[in-house]
Amino acid sequence: MKRWVKMIRFIGGLCLVTLLGIAYVSYLCHNSLCLAPEHSSLSPRYSISSSSSRSEILSSPASLVKLIGGFPLKVNIESVAFEEAYDMGFDITSRDVIVFLHIQKTGGTTFGRHLVRDLNLENPCNCPRKRKRCDCFRPNTVNEQWLFSRYSTGWKCGLHADWTELTDCVEGALDEYEGTSRKRRYFFITVLRDPIHRYLSEFRHVQRGATWKSARHWCGGQEFTSLPHCYKGSNWTGVELDEFMNCSYNLAHNRQTRMLADLTLAGCYTGYNTTADQLERDRILLQSAKQNLASMAYFGLTEEQSTSQYIFERTFHLDFANRFDQANATLSAQAIAELTPAQIERVRQLNSLDNELLEFARQLLHERFKMLKRRDPHFRWNWLRVIHPHKRLVQSFISAQK
């Protein structure tokens, strides 16, 4: 009898320890989806058709699998990568949609205007005077958009929606806008900028009163509306740089990496910029941002306008009527000149992930440029038209080739 009592107590003790262990793990992982271990890859979160290494730049996420509430949810988005876009082109008459991921202070406003106003199309976007948005409808349709951006559809997925928001929202937003459900091919594009210049530009913008308070910060099936603000009152007008940098939850820090990464991989905004597991979180976000950038149909760099324009035109087989003007860096250069060496180093440290992302992007951009140049039988003509888009020069070049 005593033996049975001891056995029952032993089994009961094992059950109690097991339950306590489950409760402990649940507490640690609450609302964070648990950070992946060092040896894990991104594949449990969404499927990539081929390797995501930098040298294999032609990989494409044909569809995405995200974890919503801890369970995998299939997001049926057909995303077209760079090589596929180049091989097949962009079919404006079919079901292709360009989705512009607009990161703050990267020159995206100018680029967005180029998209709606300067593309040489048989049926260009209709941009009525005194209206911010244009109608970029497919030929022979009245409401089917081929461009999803600020200046065409507006902020349908939220103000400056990031990769996490766009991939979760764009299909439903277009279905609602067009009044019908359909499958589309999505060509994601974006523009990146030197992190120090971008950060200082955002600082100046915030100093003048910008807040982006209406951003949704949608992630993992919920909207994070209670993110702390770095300021009291309605805005941060007049903020000094040191105060701007000292706010640990300032979303300006490493903004480009965060907006290109799949935030569900690192618990969305739960515990954002806390010291716990920060290095692991940073590693996951940077890896994800690089992978997502490499899988995009196109990205450009603010500091390399001509190269970026050439890559866009050859990738999409679409030409711009006006060239991409090199961004005027006078204000950023002036702002940097006013900083102390310690402040410059602090800005660099606060944007260390963006610095590494930019190096990756610059190398990838140059690889794509070399590949397109090698495949372009009319490279001299196409390149001359990008850097000197004047009819007289183009006509002179044509005459010289005859």
Catalytic residue positions? 160
Supply the DSSP symbol for 320.
B
Rounded to 5 degrees, φ, ψ at 292 are -70, -40
Task: Locate all alpha helices (DSSP H) within 179-277, ordered by sequence.
Answer: 195-207, 241-246, 255-260
Name the CA dihedral angle for 338, 340, 343, 349, rounded to a multiple of 10 degrees. 110
Instruction: In whole angstroms, give the CA distance from residue 182 to residue 143.
Output: 13
Instruction: In whole angstroms, give the CA distance from residue 184 to residue 181.
Output: 10
Q: How many degrees, rounded to 5, is the angle at CA 68 between CA 29 and CA 150?
A: 120
Rounded to 5 degrees, φ, ψ at 17 are -65, -40
Rounded to 5 degrees, φ, ψ at 98 are -85, 125
- Please compute, for residue 379, the number of CA atoms within 13 A of its CA located in the half-sphere on the CB side: 11
> DSSP readout, 164-199?
HHHHHHHHHHHHHHHTS----EEEEEEEE--HHHHH
Instruction: In whole angstroms, give the CA distance from residue 373 to residue 132.
Output: 36
Q: How many degrees, rounded to 5, is the angle at CA 242 between CA 236 and CA 244?
A: 35
Instruction: In whole angstroms, give the CA distance from residue 328 to residue 308.
Output: 16
User: 212: alpha, beta or left, given left = phi > 0 and alpha = psi -120 to 50?
Assistant: left
**Residue 331 · residue 300 · CB < 8 Å:** no
For residue 30, what are its two tokens?
Answer: 């609450």
User: Given the DSSP bridges, would you call strands 147-148 and 222-223 parallel, antiparallel or unpaired?
Assistant: unpaired
Nearest to 387 by CA among 333, 287, 320: 320
